Structure 1
Amino acid sequence: MELLGEYLPMLADAAINGRRPDAWELDAVRESGRRAAAQGVGARRAVDLYLSAAWRLWRQLPVVVRSSDPEKVRAAAEAVLRVLDDAVGVLVDGHQAERREMIRREESVRAEFVDDLLRGDADVSRMVERAQLFGIDLGKPHHVALVAPRDPGGGIDRAATALERAVVDRFGDREVLVAMKDGRVVVVVPSAATPAGAAARGTDVGVLLQQDLRRLRIPGRWRVAAGRAFPGVWGVPRSYEEAREALALADRLAVEDDVVHARDLLVYRVLGRDQAAIVDLIRDVLGPLEQVRGGAQVLLETLHAYFDAGDVATEAARRLHVSVRTVTYRLARVAQLTGHSVASPDQRFALQSAVLGARLLGWPVRPLPTDP
């Protein structure tokens, strides 16, 4: 009855006196619509309440019960219907306005929480309490995966909406979070949420999200970067930073894979932390390759393919589309120029580290930094 307010007296006054409601009376009904939304009462239920109240009141009105004049009854009915139409209209308007404001407030609170969660709020106890409101137990290890468009103008909003439904269907509605940040979709799931048997099939969060993108036919190409799982309040921001760095490294290294993992790029993170040392290593180990006609690029690509192929010359030749003899000749030429042979474990390690560093810095296409 609280939501009816002065609605019933308005109907009675209309039936008896034919009066239309004043603006302030309709404002009161609009406010009732806002209260209904705030209390969790749906718009349909609120309208049903007003319609059923009008029906009950109509049967009790003196002008209906006592009058034998059909014209008076018709006039009363028209007046009541006019007020009913006005009241229901403003009731729904108020309800919708409050719902829009509630959604904006919820989105604002959610966005603030996501920012603080990914950044790592210094107030640990408060962060734990806020996370619980969103159904996240920060005591558990969590993965963070980032979904980024690889084509200009990727529909990030559509991807976020579709992925949120897919993530909830796949992992459940507890302990998961899907949001947008910096033009990417952020997906947070606990490490234990990976579906049963996924590890045995060689799948993980990054692969599963890429599968969902394809299954849902989200337009454009997308890259998914997955960080490792870490426990505690600082676990989520740490995994997020790993995923961000994995995306940046994948772009920098021109990786073609649509799924990249922070764990697979750890060596590049290590190399990148001491740029001065890696520049010296590239100059000392690979610098002599520039003596070759046409530059170091061909021999460097051969080394990279050989290491990626697990030191199997046949597989390296297949990847390079050359003969095995060509690969072995180039490796021998590298050993001759640099004094480092892939057949020697110590020298091979130095060669591979230098090759990885060269790839990270874009050498020899880009010159090495002169002042690291």
Structure 2
Amino acid sequence: MPGQPHAVRKVIREVATAVLAELPAFADRLVERGAVEEKTFYGRGDWMAPSDMRQSFMDNARSALLLMGGEDEGRDWMAAPLATGRRRAEQGVPLEAVLHLFRLGTELLWDMLLAAARRRSPDELADFVDGVMVLWQATDRVSMAMVEGYRSREIQLQTRANRRRERLLGVLVEGRGVDPAVAADAEAGLGLPVHGRYVVVLVVCDLAAEEMAPVPELAAAGVRVAVAPYRDRVVWLLELGGVAPGRLAALLTPHLHHRAGMSGEVAGLAEIGIAYRLAELALQTQPPDAPGLAVLDDRLPEALVAASPRLAQRLAAKVLGRVLDLDDEERQVLLETLRAWFRAGRSATRAGELLYCHRNTVLNRLRKLEQLTGASLEDDRHQLCCRLALMAPRETP
């Protein structure tokens, strides 16, 4: 107790020593009050067994009293609060509740110290009161050590839980959920039912990005979620409950700021591998420089093309080969005209409005396309081939 007069240090040490002998009675009072406080403030009283609470109170009060008496050599006083903090984290007791009970213990400890000091002479009582700051400094150090133990153990537990979640999601997206034992393990570890309505969402982003965070609206809608990184993606595994996939997409869209792909619905954990591949296909329909959510069921033609890129490129070369051989500017004009014509429901007038040109200009370009492709755009099969060819990946647009 540096800085304190000798008389003050002496009386504080003697009062702390006297209270040390009374700790069992102190602990009994704290257990009784602590159980009431738990139920009153947190609605439960089963986080800590009474024997555990009693021993923790005694150990931490002893640490505070040792510090008050100036016995902090070797930092032995830290063992008890560190152990208490670690244990409470393992028990799942909220840190707020831990600190609330600690404050309760500090109040009762002060009552005991003051009662012991009042049994001494008036001068010694005055000395004790003059040095009361030592009590608050001691309890503050014990509290900080307890928080340190809690936080360090909490981080360890969260890291372990994250690794288990990553492992479980990994085996599911690899298709190993068809094994009933694997599915049961995933059900227990992820809190998701073996049988249910599932979709997978893949997000391309930094693994520490916001897409790792939960979306509050999902829980409110009854959607259960497990999120973890897998390779260079963030995987969202979502159990729909009673929510339609379209509604889910609407809930997710405002929160996804990177490229993302959403699978169609599958039945149960056994089909998560299928959903993962479908989500990857949906993702491939989203341009590399375009953030946002690509929903598979909204892009099935594009997904068909993405599923067989070599075949799609062969189709494009067969249907649009002579067009693709044109110089960049002319090729771009003709392909954009064809796209606009399809978007306009094959109306030359509306396509002209989209392209800011006269309908006759559109018609002239369409005739040029027919000449180069060797087929009429009135032919349904040729239209289908042109639509698919426009979706096909190729080195030049």
Asked whether the two chains share a fold, i.e. TM above 0.5, the reply is: yes
- Report matched runs for 1:1-372 at 5 Å: 1-9=54-62, 18=69, 20-22=71-73, 23-41=75-93, 42=95, 43-58=98-113, 61=116, 64=117, 66-71=119-124, 74-75=127-128, 78=132, 83-121=138-176, 123-148=179-204, 157-158=209-210, 160-161=212-213, 163-169=214-220, 171-172=221-222, 175-179=224-228, 186-194=235-243, 204-212=247-255, 222-251=258-287, 258-275=292-309, 277-289=311-323, 296-357=331-392, 360-363=393-396, 365=397
Contact 1:156–1:184 (CA under 8 A) maintained in structure 2:
no
Over 3 Å counting, the alpha-carbon distance change for 1:330 and 1:192 in structure 2 is: farther
Separation (CA, whole Å) in 1 of partners of 2:114 and 2:378: 100
Over 3 Å counting, the alpha-carbon distance change for 1:320 and 1:50 in structure 2 is: same
- The offset of 1:51, in angstroms, is 0.9
Deviations along 1:5-37, whole A, 9 cap, x unmatched? 43445667788xx45255323323321232233
Identity of aligned residues (%): 22
> 2:26 maps to what in 1?
none
Deviations along 1:145-178, whole A, 9 cap, x unmatched? 34456xxxx89634543x5334334x24x52234
- The offset of 1:112, in angstroms, is 3.0
Contact 1:340–1:348 (CA under 8 A) maintained in structure 2:
no
Contact 1:164–1:178 (CA under 8 A) maintained in structure 2:
no
- The offset of 1:265, in angstroms, is 3.5
- The offset of 1:341, in angstroms, is 0.9
Over 3 Å counting, the alpha-carbon distance change for 1:287 and 1:138 in structure 2 is: same
RMSD of equivalent CA atoms: 3.7
Deviations along 1:72-93, whole A, 9 cap, x unmatched? 6734965655644443332333
Separation (CA, whole Å) in 2 of partners of 1:82 and 1:336: 91
Separation (CA, whole Å) in 2 of partners of 1:292 and 1:36: 72
Over 3 Å counting, the alpha-carbon distance change for 1:207 and 1:164 in structure 2 is: closer
Contact 1:148–1:185 (CA under 8 A) maintained in structure 2:
yes
Over 3 Å counting, the alpha-carbon distance change for 1:50 and 1:88 in structure 2 is: farther
Over 3 Å counting, the alpha-carbon distance change for 1:146 and 1:275 in structure 2 is: closer
Contact 1:309–1:315 (CA under 8 A) maintained in structure 2:
yes
Contact 1:206–1:224 (CA under 8 A) maintained in structure 2:
no
Over 3 Å counting, the alpha-carbon distance change for 1:107 and 1:49 in structure 2 is: farther
- The offset of 1:230, in angstroms, is 0.8
Separation (CA, whole Å) in 2 of partners of 1:314 and 1:288: 26
Over 3 Å counting, the alpha-carbon distance change for 1:315 and 1:103 in structure 2 is: same
Report which of the two has the higher share of helix: 2
- The offset of 1:348, in angstroms, is 2.9
TM-score normalised to structure 1 length: 0.73
Over 3 Å counting, the alpha-carbon distance change for 1:110 and 1:355 in structure 2 is: closer
- The offset of 1:277, in angstroms, is 4.2
Listed as ranges, the gaps of 5+ residues in structure 2 are 1-53
Contact 1:340–1:351 (CA under 8 A) maintained in structure 2:
no
Separation (CA, whole Å) in 1 of partners of 2:252 and 2:63: 56
Q: How many aligned residue pairs are there? A: 336
